[in-house]
Structure 1
C-alpha cells in the first residue's frame, strides 16, 4: 500500500468528562490551548496547535448527547494516532482492499471562535483503521477540509516554547507485532530497525517509536506494570525552541519534572498515565 504516506496530523488524549481539569493541567504545562470546541458528534475538545501537527484533548460535557460511545468506553490517556490525508475517500478504498478499514469516511464539523468575532465551521472527514488491529488505542486518517481554521498563527506560540510533536511512543513486548499494522498500511520500507528494543516509523516531522517496556523505563522513566505485555500508547516528545524557556514555564506551572540526557521529562497525572518529553530543536 505504498500510495499512502505516513505523516502525523495530530494526537488524541482521551480526557472523557475531565475537560476542565485537563485544560487547567495542560495550560500549567505551558500549552496555549484553543477555546473549547464542540463537535457535531457531541464531543468537545481543546487543541494545542504546532507548526504542522497538533495535540487534542478530547472529551465531552454531556454524555447524553454524545454520539460516540467509544469515547467514554475508552481508557483515559493517549489513545489516538492520526494521519494526514488529502483524500479520505481514496484512503478508505485502499484500506478496504486490504481489509484494514473499520468504517466509511465520516464527515463532521466544529464551530471555531476567531478573534474577529466570527464563528465559522471547521470541517473534517475521518477514516478509521480497523479497531481489532489497534488494541492499544485508535488510529485513523483525517482530511481537513478547512485547514485555515486549524493552523492559525495566533494559536501556534506556546509559553513552553514547543514547536511540534516530535515523537509518538508505543510500548510493547513484541514491538514488531505492534508495528505490523503500519507495515500493512504504508509498506515495510517505512519501518526502521533502530535496535533490538525499538523499531520506528518516520511520519513527516515526527516519528512513531515502538519500544520495549524496558526501553520505555530506561528512556522515559515509565514504570513497568503487570499488564505490560499489552501494547500501549505511553509517551509524547516535543521539540522546543528553547529548553530553558520550557524549564521556566514548567516551574511557573508548578509542574514536577526531571532532566535526563538533555531532555525534560514530566509525568502527567489525573489518571492520564502519560509521559511528556521535551527536547531542544
Structure 2
C-alpha cells in the first residue's frame, strides 16, 4: 500500500475568516465555506491532486469539534488517501497499527448549475496516542467530483501541488517505525542529518530532528504552542516562482529567498511556514 498524500489540515479554531483572508493574501483561491455533518466548518485550497484544508468553526468563540478542540492554531493534520476506508481499517489493525473504525460524514455543496448535493467522505484515523502531536488519518472520497472542480483549482499564486511536508520530531525513527507498520518497510527512506523520508506520490513527508528544523527555519518556524512532534511546514510547487514572488510583494507579504523558491514565515493566523517552489 504505497502512501499518497490526500490533503493537509491547518486548524484555525474559531478564526476561520482570518485564516481564509491570510490564505487569500498568499494567493490561494478558496472554496466557499463548507459545514460538515460532524459539526466543523472548512475552506479548501484545491490543487491538482491534493489540497490544503482550513478547519475549525465559523462561529467566533464557538465550540470546536471534540476531536480537534485540543489542537492549537497550526498545521495539525496529515491525511493520506484510501479507496476503501472500511477495508483499510481492518488491514491496518491486522498489522498492529492502532487505527480506529471508519467514520462517515458529509457537507453540502452547491453545484455549478445551481443545484445542491453533498460531498461525502469516509475516514480512518490513527489513535491519537500513537501519532505525533497532530492527527494522522486516511480519507476516502465518495464524491471526488465535488472537491476537485476546475474552477477551484486556478490559484493566483500558480500553486499546483504539495511538494514537501516537514515534521519536527524529537526522535524521527519513532515516527518512521509507525510509517513502516502503516505502509511497509520499503516505504520509508533515510535522509540527511537523521531525517526520515516518506515519498507520497508527488509529495514527500520529511520527519527531521527538532534541532535540524530549528537550523533550517530559524525565526520562520511556527510556534510549537505546546506541541511535541508536530507539523511545521508545507511546500507547494508553483507554475512560475517569479510571478508568485511578485504577487506576494504586491500584497505586502514578507517572503525569504530559499533554494528553489520562497519561504513565507509562520505568523499567528495560520502558525505554519509556507514555501513556494519551482
TM-score, shorter chain, exceeding 0.5? yes
In structure 2, what is the Cα distance between the partners aligned to 1:57 and 1:202? Answer: 24
Secondary structure of the corresponding residue to residue 70 of structure 1:
coil
Aligned to 1:106: 103
Structure 1 residues 63, 23: closer, same or farther in 2, change over 3 A?
closer
Aligned to 1:267: 265
Deviation at 1:168, TM superposition (A): 1.1
| Structure 1 position 35 matched with structure 2 position 32 | yes
In structure 1, what is the Cα distance between the partners aligned to 2:82 and 2:49? Answer: 13
Deviation at 1:151, TM superposition (A): 0.6
Provide Cα deviations, 1:204-233, integer angstroms capped at 9, x if missing partner.
111100112333234333459899993111
Provide Cα deviations, 1:9-29, integer angstroms capped at 9, x if missing partner.
000011010000001000000
Q: Which runs of 5+ in 1 are unaligned?
A: none
Aligned to 2:112: 115
1:68-87 alignment to 2 at 5 Å?
68-87=65-84
Structure 1 residues 40, 229: closer, same or farther in 2, change over 3 A?
closer
- 1:26 maps to which of 13, 20, 23: 23
Aligned to 1:238: 236
In structure 2, what is the Cα distance between the partners aligned to 1:263 and 1:228? Answer: 30
Aligned to 1:217: 214
Deviation at 1:273, TM superposition (A): 2.5
In structure 2, what is the Cα distance between the partners aligned to 1:217 and 1:137? Answer: 19
In structure 1, what is the Cα distance between the partners aligned to 2:173 and 2:227? Answer: 13
Provide Cα deviations, 1:217-273, integer angstroms capped at 9, x if missing partner.
343334598999931110000001100111012122211111122320001312532
What's the TM-score once normalised by structure 1's chain length? 0.92
In structure 2, what is the Cα distance between the partners aligned to 1:112 and 1:252? Answer: 33
Structure 1 residues 263, 217: closer, same or farther in 2, change over 3 A?
farther
In structure 2, what is the Cα distance between the partners aligned to 1:201 and 1:271? Answer: 28
| Structure 1 position 128 matched with structure 2 position 125 | yes
Aligned to 2:252: 254
Whether the aligned pair in 2 keeps the contact of 1:32 and 1:157 (CA below 8 Å) is yes
RMSD: 2.2
| Structure 1 position 185 matched with structure 2 position 182 | yes
Aligned to 2:58: 61
Deviation at 1:197, TM superposition (A): 2.7
Structure 1 residues 107, 158: closer, same or farther in 2, change over 3 A?
same
What's the TM-score once normalised by structure 2's chain length? 0.93
Q: Which moved more, 1:155-164 or 1:165-174?
A: 165-174
